[in-house]
Structure 1
Amino acid sequence: MEVITSKLDGSPVSEVMGKFVVHRCPSLGVFWGSNPATLIVHKLLKSEADVIHAHSYVFLTTNQAALTRKLRRIPLLLHLHGGIEVVPFHGDVLTRLKFTAVKSVYDRTIGKWTLSTADAIASVSKKDIEVAKKLFGIDGNLFHWVPNAVDVRIFKKDSVYPSDDLYVLFVGRLDPRKGIDVLLDVAKIVIRERNDVVFIVIGEGSLKEKIEVAARSLHGSLRVLGRVPFKTLLKWLSKAAILILPSYTEGLPTVCLEALATETPVVASNVGGTSEVIIDGKTGYLFPPGNVQLCAEKVLRLLADEALRRRMGRYGRDLVERFYSWENVVEKIERLYESI
Structure 2
Amino acid sequence: MKIAFLTPEYPHPKTSHSAGIGSSIKNLAVELLQNNHRVTVFVYSEDSNEIFEDNGISIHKIGYKKYPMLSWYLYRKQLQNYINNIIKVNQIDLIEAPDWTGITAFIKFRCPLLIRLHGTDAYFCKLEGRKQKIKNYFFEKVALKSADYIASVSEFTALETKRIFNIKTAIKVIYNGINTTQFYNRQNTFYFEEELGETILYFGSVIRKKGVLELAKIFNKVVEKRPSTQLTLLGKDVIDIFENKSTLELFMTKLSSEAKQNVIHINHVPYEKVKEHIRKANVIVLPSFAEAFPMTWLEAMAMRKGLVTSNIGWANELMIDGKTGFTENPVAHQLYADKILQLLENKELNATFGINAKERIHQFFSLEVIGAKNINYYKSILKK
8 Å contact kept, 1:178–1:248: yes
Choose which of 53, 58, 65 in structure 1 pairs with 2:100: 58
Residue 196 (structure 1) aligned with residue 196 (structure 2): no
Taking the aligned partners of 1:311 and 1:201, their CA distance within structure 2 comes to 25
1:44 to 49, 69, 83: 83
Give yes or no for the alignment of 1:155 onto 2:196: no
User: Distance between the aligned counterparts of 2:299 and 2:184, measured in 1?
Assistant: 9
CA contact (8 A) 2:218 2:336 kept: yes
Distance (whole Å) between structure 2 residues aligned to residue 72 and residue 159 of structure 1: 48
User: For 1:136-285, what aligned pairs fall within 5 Å after superposition?
Assistant: 136-141=165-170, 143-159=171-187, 162-206=194-238, 207-211=247-251, 217=257, 218=259, 220-285=261-326
CA deviations on 1:226-255 (whole Å, 9 max, x unpaired) are 111233211121121211111120011111
* Per-residue Cα deviation, 1:2-27 (whole angstroms, up to 9, x for no partner): 21114557x87331113222122234
SS of the residue 2:285 aligns to: strand
Tell me which amino acid in the other structure corresponds to 1:148: N
Alpha-carbon spacing, 1:295–1:140, altered in 2? closer, same or farther (3 Å): farther
Q: Which residue of structure 1 aligns with residue 133 of structure 2? A: 102
Instruction: Check conservation: 2:84, 2:110, Cα contact below 8 A.
Output: no
**Paired letter, 2:286:** L
Equivalent of 1:124 in 124, 138, 153:
153
How far does residue 140 in structure 1 lie from its aligned partner after superposition? 4.6
Who is 1:296 aligned against? Answer: 337
Aligned-pair CA distance for 1:51: 0.9
Cα RMSD of the aligned pairs, angstroms, is 2.8
- State the one-letter code of the partner of 1:3: V
Unpaired segments ≥5 residues, structure 1: 30-37, 90-95
* 1:74 maps to 2:117: no
Does the 8 Å contact 2:234/2:267 carry over to 1? yes
The Cα shift of 1:106 comes to: 4.3
* Offset at residue 88 of structure 1 (A): 5.8
Name the TM-score, length of structure 2 as normaliser.
Answer: 0.73
> What is the alpha-carbon distance in structure 1 between the residues aligned to residue 215 and residue 112 of structure 2?
42
Q: Gapped runs of 5+ residues in structure 2?
A: 1-38, 67-74, 239-246
Normalised by the size of structure 1, how large is the TM-score? 0.82
- Distance 1:168-1:87 versus aligned 2 partners, 3 A rule: farther
The 5 Å alignment of 1:15-30 reads 15-27=52-64
Where does structure 1 differ by over 4 angstroms across 4 or more consecutive aligned residues? 85-89, 209-217
**CA apart distance, 1:46:** 2.5
SS in 1 for 2:222: helix
Counterpart mapping for 1:301-320 below 5 A? 301-320=342-361
SS in structure 1 at match of 2:131? helix
Contact 2:199 2:229 in 1 (8 A): yes
Residues 203 and 227, structure 1, Cα contact 8 Å, conserved in 2: yes
Contact 2:206 2:233 in 1 (8 A): no
Alpha carbons of structure 1 residues 110 and 42: separation in structure 2 relative to 1, 3 Å = same
SS of the aligned residue for 1:100 comes to coil
Q: How many residues align?
A: 314
Deviations 1:47-82 (A, max 9, x none): 313211112x123xxx343433xx335211111113
Counterpart CA distance in 2 for 1:28 and 1:267 is 43
> After superposition, what is the alpha-carbon deviation per residue over 1:144-202, rounded to whole angstroms, capped at 9, x for unaligned?
11111111122223438542511111111112211111111112221222023111111
Farther-moved stretch of structure 1 (74-83 vs 156-165) = 156-165
